Amino acid sequence: MQLDEVDSIAQLDEAVERENYDLFLIDYRLPVGNGMEALDHVLKNDLNRDAGKIMITGDSASTTIVEAMRGGCHDFLTKEEMSVEALRTAMINALNAAKKRQQLSLHEPQQKEIIRQGLVAAMQDSEVQGNVISLVRQELRQSDRFGAELRNRSNAADMYALLAAFRDEDDFIFH
């Protein structure tokens, strides 16, 4: 087992550019920056983005834990609760999770190609073509109804309110 230690995010960037790591132990509190910034640099590196990642901190606030886990860490350990067994368990779990993610990533292009071929084959089927055409027609009819409703609105205040609603930021954005 090889262990590399870096003292700054700049050194981290150099290390992840030249080495392929299996696991990162990231301290949340750094002399310059923080562990979330370091995590972001690891995730942006093609060579190491799928490695196991564990955040270690003296801060046991739930917001810090949630931020680290949502940010891409596989586990989170506080320094107060740190033990050899806790670290060992976290390392094994993070390595296993990273390995599963790497295996899924390897199969993703094949899965996309299988789906693409299935869609192409389905679109060549006349029954599927008929179903798609029916769905498109139905959507067009619904948009025509919506357009007619908009055209028939005579109250200018309602129109301005509708337009204002479109300008407001959405609470939920799905990608």
Per-residue pLDDT of the chain (175 residues; tens, 9 = 90+): 778 899 889 999 999 999 999 999 999 888 888 899 999 999 999 999 999 999 998 877 778 888 888 899 999 999 888 899 999 999 999 999 999 988 887 788 888 888 888 888 887 888 887 888 888 888 877 877 776 666 665 566 665 665 656 555 555 444 4
Q: Which pLDDT belongs to residue 153? A: 59
Long-range (24+ apart) CB contacts under 8 A made by 69-72 are: 71/36, 71/39, 71/40, 71/43, 72/39, 72/43
- What pLDDT was estimated at residue 91? 94
Neighbours of 76 (CB within 10 A): 21
pLDDT at res. 92: 94
Q: In this predicted model, what pLDDT tens digit does every residue of 116-154 receive, in sequence order?
A: 888 888 878 888 878 888 888 888 778 777 766 666 655
- CATH for the stretch 9-113: 3.40.50.2300
The end-to-end CA distance of the chain, in Å, is 39
d(CA 140, CA 82): 60
